[in-house]
Amino acid sequence: MSDFHGVVTLVAAKEHACCECHSVITKASQYDRDFGAMDGRGFSYKTCLPCASAREWLDKKLRQMNCLNADEGIKFGDLHSELVEFASEERFLGVESLRLLLDIAQRRNDAGKFQGEGS
Ligand SMILES: [Zn+2]
For the segment 8-44, what is each residue's pLDDT rounded down to a tens digit?
Answer: 999 999 999 999 999 999 999 999 999 999 888 999 9
Cα radius of gyration rounded to whole Å, the chain = 15
Three-state SS for 26? Answer: coil
Separation of CA 18 and ligand 1 centre (Å): 5
Q: How far apart are CA 75 and CA 53, in angstroms?
A: 15
Q: 90 C-alpha to center of ligand 1: Å?
A: 23
- Cα of 111 vs centre of ligand 1, distance in Å, is 9
Percent helix / strand / coil, the chain, rounded to 5:
40, 25, 35
For residue 104, the enclosing domain spans: 4-116
Domain count, the chain: 1
Angle at Cα 102 formed by Cα 76 and Cα 70, nearest 5°?
A: 35
The larger pLDDT score, comparing residue 74 to residue 118, is at 74
- Report how far ligand 1's centroid is from the alpha carbon of 114 (Å): 14
